[in-house]
Amino acid sequence: MKQRYEGKRVRTLKVKPINNFIVISDVHLREPDDNITQLFLKTLDNILNERVSNQKKIDALFLLGDIFDFITGSKKFFLKMWKSVFEKFKQLKESGIQVYFIEGNHDFGFEHFRSKKLDEYFTNYGDCSIEFIHEKTGNIVLRHGDDLICPEKYIKFRQFVKSKFFQKITSFLFAGFFMHFLFSRYAKASRLQDVYRKIEPNFIKTCLDKYFLFYMSEFNKKINILIIGHIHVFINTYYKDTHILVGPDWFSAPNYLYYNEDGVSERVYCDNKIQKEFQLNNL
């Protein structure tokens, strides 16, 4: 049976081959002046310096969703609030790094409210998955993952809140500062429920099985490497001959994923925290 994944909900952005790239996911920035934001800015500075000084080959930076605890690109309030972060994205882009922003379930308005200002910060952006060929390892797919590792009932809810109609209405009705106040507190309350730690390996496998079936029937090819975020765990394993990389989960332990031209991935931790690997296949 053909599964109801991706096709009617997010677009697939196909980009030219990329061999050296960085992935950052689930930072959940809350306030511009807090320690999390300062560490994130410092990390982006380090990435920029490595690129400019040729210490590390970096062709692209993928921001894999939930970079902010809540944001909508439709409101200038948020672009001003996070000016220091967006300007850092701009510097990275101007250095020659392709910068892609994928909406997570905490990010809104980038898909439906595209603008010249956002174009300054990102090579491309929106509610999408990204697909490209790596010369060494083949077909790579990146997506946030909230519509992949999820119960079926979440799909319709997601379709509604991600729709242009809903986002235009909420953008018209609510001021940016009110959105920040309300939805940031909702996000915090949601995390306190500790839902991510309840995820079981069998549930993840079931979701992956459905997605792989859909992808094969839709595109008639397999995924060699699938990189997702969302579920706040660290996974680096093979499942059904696909290399599964989940994370980097910055929220649990500030880090990013560096993938090089030889097909080798490295988790680069940004402070003294490290994250234990979630055992998907150890049942």
pLDDT of residue 2: 39
pLDDT of residue 3: 40
pLDDT digits (tens, 9 = 90+) for 91-125: 999 999 999 999 999 999 999 999 999 999 999 99
Q: How far apart are CA 185 and CA 1, in angstroms?
A: 40
Ramachandran bin of 116, using left for φ above 0, alpha for ψ from -120 to 50, beta for the remaining angles: alpha
> With contact defined as beta carbons under 8 Å apart, do 20 and 65 qualify?
no
The DSSP secondary structure of 127-191, one letter per residue, reads SEEEEEEETTTEEEEEE--TTTSS-HHHHHHHHHHTSHHHHHHHHHHS-HHHHHHHHHHHHHHHH
pLDDT of residue 6: 42
The CB-side HSE value for 233 (13 A sphere, CA atoms) comes to: 20
Listed by start position, the domains of the chain span 11-269
pLDDT of residue 260: 98
pLDDT of residue 196: 52
State the CATH class of domain 11-269.
Answer: alpha beta
Q: Which residues of the chain have pLDDT under 70?
A: 1-9, 188-197, 282-283
pLDDT of residue 219: 92
Q: How far is CA 7 from the centre of its chain?
A: 18
pTM of the model: 0.93
pLDDT of residue 7: 39
